Structure 1
Amino acid sequence: MEATRNKEICYEELKTLMGKSQNLLVVDVRSNEEVAKGHIPGSIHIPVDTVEAEFSLSPEEFKAKYGVTKPPPDAPELVFHCMMGRRGGIATDKARELGYVNARNFVGGYKTWAEKEGK
């Protein structure tokens, strides 16, 4: 079944996708305070406790609120991340429950990103 596809993505895979994909959507599920200290370029901020509600918005409402097109349920490149991976995993599971069968969690989260990017 499609939902059994890999639910995680590592730094190297994410970096490769960022360089070649026009359809990649990276969702930062950390708190406002955490995001203010740094974020992955191009990511949008949707706190973990609002993921279900935000991904239930109509495509028009989502675009108006976030400035990006709401991904379709079968979007191949939807990645959630937090600081280290736990909240990103929760958000990924919520998205999958909503039908986003390919949603993935960036293992290591922003902590790994910042280390690898020298931030």
Structure 2
Amino acid sequence: MANTVTKEISYEDLKALLGKSQNLLLVDVRSKEEVDKGRIPGSVHIPLDTVEAAFSMQPEQFKAKYGVTKPPLDAPELVFHCQVGRRGGMATAKAHELGYVNARNYTGGYKEWSEKEGK
């Protein structure tokens, strides 16, 4: 059994990454209805039930579908988030199973983000 401890990232760390990193891929795994109400700038919407398929795609397919470059398995800055952390954790665990060793979950989710950002 692989180590199932989910790596996490805080609001402060995510905010800093969004400000400086060109390599960050922030994946929003919420439903389309939730995303339509507001999202973290720069995030890519890949619903939870499609995460496994998305991250199993060939890079060309991934780029065509999501408009961003598919991260390599050792991508240092791959972050998943949902509304309050649970689905983000599930997506992060799935990414780990697929070999994305550094995938992290933003546990505060969009709820915390929107509160801190005052939106």
TM-score of Structure 1 vs Structure 2, range by shorter chain? over 0.9
Query: How far apart in 2 are the matches of 1:28 and 1:4?
Result: 21
TM-score by length of 1: 0.95
For this pair of structures, how many residues does the alignment match?
Answer: 117
Q: Secondary structure at the match of 1:8?
A: strand
Q: Please provide the CA RMSD for this pair.
A: 1.4
- 1:41-80: CA deviation from partner (whole Å, max 9, x where unpaired): 0100001011000100000000011111000000000000
Q: 1:23: how far off? A: 0.2
Q: What stretches of structure 1 move > 3 A for 4+ residues in a row?
A: 3-6
Query: How far apart in 1 are the matches of 2:26 and 2:93?
Result: 15
Aligned to 1:101: 101
**Structure 2 residue identity aligned to 1:107:** T
**Structure 1 residue identity aligned to 2:71:** P
TM-score by length of 2: 0.95
* Sequence identity percentage: 77
In structure 2, list runs of 5 or more residues that go unmatched: none
Query: How far apart in 2 are the matches of 1:42 and 1:18?
Result: 8
Worse-superposed segment, 85-94 or 3-12: 3-12
Query: How far apart in 2 are the matches of 1:81 and 1:5?
Result: 16
Please tell me whether residue 49 in structure 1 is matched to residue 49 in structure 2: yes
Contact conserved, 1:5 with 1:102, CA < 8 A, in 2? no
Query: How far apart in 1 are the matches of 2:96 and 2:10?
Result: 19
